[in-house]
Amino acid sequence: MYSHDVLVLGAGLAGMRAALEAAKTGANVAMLSKVYPVRSHSNAAQGGINAALTDRGDDWTDHAYDTVKGSDFLGDQDAIEVMCREAGQELINLEHMGVIFNRDEEGHLGTRAFGGQRKARTFFVADITGQAILHVMFEQILKYNVRVYDEWYATTLIMDGNRCGGVVAMEMRTGDIHAIQAKATILATGGSGRVFEPSTNALICSGDGMSLAYRAGAPLMDMEMVQYHPTTLKGSGVLLTEGARGEGAYLINTKGERFMEKYAPNMMELASRDVVSRAETIEINEGNDIDGCVLLDCRHLGTAKIMERLSYIHEISLDLVGVDITKDPVPIRPGVHYQMGGIKTDIDGRCWDPNGAWKGVEGLFAAGETACVSVHGGNRLGANSLLDTVIFGRRSAIGAMDYASQNSHLNFSENDWVNGEKAKLQGFLDNDASGDLVAKLRMDMAVAMDKGLGVYRTEDGMQEALQAVQGMRERFKKVVVQDKGKSFNTNLIFALELGCMLDCAETIAIGGIERKESRGAHSRTDYDKRDDENWMKHILLRQGDGGEVTKEYMPIVVTQWQPEERKY
């Protein structure tokens, strides 16, 4: 049987950073990913990565305050402090690994402004920062010869009681099912954006890790906090970076007004994302739109700046909607972008361990978008996601190695787990042709979620979405997998992903219904105010043995910033 001390699922930035940290110490570590590492969705982060560098006269506590305020005071301040304090050193680590970064005139790292922050502390590589960092991290993975299970799909966590001892996974090329034993397992599987349509997220972002953990008994926290990014392209919903506004681009409506004047007179276009997305939605609902879109206007930045710093969004605007952003404003609208919620972890990635008691799943760790530490709370600041991945990727590896050094492998029967999984998969293949196609079911779910859990939400709308999703669970049992073959059966993989997305969709809707206030990205027209008296707490959802969902609450950790009114 394959066996490792530390097994990392997912090979985006969080996963690779974790694997790298473990590999550097000589640990027996491996990564498993359903795509080649450089295909991971960290690629799509465009604008940059935040860090307060003290030699630039910045202070990590300022960064932390901006993050706390951005989170609408739902973020845990101890975790935010850790992230912002370590940001500077980790940024320098990335540079030392070889990330190229734009520079200032003296050859030092250069910055750009980003939303929700009072200081320009976003370090960047044109508008391909995620790609530039991801590829350098992959270079390091090659340098340290980390074992990678390329194009393997994890289908279940191997559990004994409350303890995780590895995974069962399908080698996609052959279709063979294997068990992989691990003392510690790190989930770094990214977000769940495909639960919605449209979405900026890649087709692979199906919340697999959240679902794996949830089914194993781990709680998902604050799932209702889904970020709508203000500038996603008309049609496909592909992302156009906040960096455009960071460089000075305007948002305008059909009347040509810079409408953010009305909603955030100080920060204008650079207010936090939830605020800008709501403003756009109001403009669109009031009829100041073109085909459901407002406009991102980059023209005044000039061709030279656009081609140096925004060349990628220039490329995709031209490719996908035929707009040359140096000449014309481009139609955009708010679109689903990021899951602030996720697998509840502590600041060392553990799922999770308050003073020696594993209250989620023992031996399980999580980092990046799939985790909820929580540093983003109700609304993530732009350029904090890349930071989150590397900080908590690294920390989870240290936590996992520590756990692995003190614990032995879980004993289990490889055959039982492999055969059990084979039978489950065969069940899908045996479905007759009378059910729904995978894509049809996913689209129905995603449209229902978009309708019920959009930028503005109501009790009725969310209930309707929840009922629709729960109804789909029945249809899912009969879902049709047309490809009956073994090799590279993507059809079967999509069916499994859809199962994961349904878990995410259901918990998002339940969390949304439960939180009876408006905070961060969760805006309810029936409870339109933030309610600090009753809702300064996290919502944790667990799956019971019978599939029922149980709710728990946890207080928000406040260290030095008391809740205050949030204005931009």
Q: For this structure, is 273 an active site residue?
A: yes
Which of residues 28, 61, 85, 97 is near another protein by CB under 8 A?
97
Which of residues 161, 287, 322, 546 is near another protein by CB under 8 A?
322
By CB under 8 A, residue 315 contacts another protein:
yes
Amino acid type, 12: G
- Dihedral of CA atoms 554, 558, 562, 568 in degrees, nearest 10, equals -80
Q: Print burial letters for 451-482: b (CB count within 10 Å at least 16), e (below 16).
A: ebbbbbbeeebbeebbebbeebeeebeebbbe
CB 351 within 8 A of CB 364: yes
Name the residue nearer to another protein (CB basis): 405 or 487: 487
Q: Which residues touch 461 (CB under 8 Å, ≥6 apart)?
A: 451, 452, 453
Name the residue nearer to another protein (CB basis): 31 or 267: 31
Which of residues 24, 39, 119, 147 is near another protein by CB under 8 A?
39
Amino acid type, 237: G
Binding mask 345-384 for another protein (x = CB under 8 A): ----------------------------------------
By CB under 8 A, residue 258 contacts another protein:
no
In the structure encoding, which two tokens stand for residue 379, read together?
């609304």
Binding mask 469-488 for another protein (x = CB under 8 A): -----------xxxxxxxxx
Three-state SS for 189? coil
CB 497 within 8 A of CB 210: no
Amino acid type, 412: F
CB 270 within 8 A of CB 112: no
Stretch that binds another protein, among 76-84, 199-207, 208-216, 452-460 (CB under 8 A): 199-207
Stretch that binds another protein, among 58-66, 316-324, 335-343, 402-410 (CB under 8 A): 316-324
β-strands 330-339, 294-297 pairing: antiparallel
Q: Which of 17, 273, 278, 350 is catalytic?
A: 273
By CB under 8 A, residue 291 contacts another protein:
no
Stretch that binds another protein, among 121-129, 358-366, 367-375, 546-554 (CB under 8 A): 121-129
Amino acid type, 502: L
Peptide bond into 265 cis (omega under 30): no
By CB under 8 A, residue 128 contacts another protein:
yes
Q: Which residues are 543's β-sheet partners?
A: 549
Shortest distance, position 488 Cβ to another protein, whole Å: 4
Rounded Cα–Cα distance for residues 251 and 296 (Å): 5
Which of residues 204, 275, 294, 446 is near another protein by CB under 8 A?
204
- Please report, as ranges, the residues that interact with another protein according to CB under 8 A: 35-36, 38-41, 43-44, 55, 92, 95-98, 100-110, 125-126, 128, 131-132, 135-136, 139-140, 142-143, 173, 202-204, 235-236, 238-239, 308, 312, 315-316, 319-322, 437-440, 480-491, 494
Q: Which residues are catalytic?
A: 273
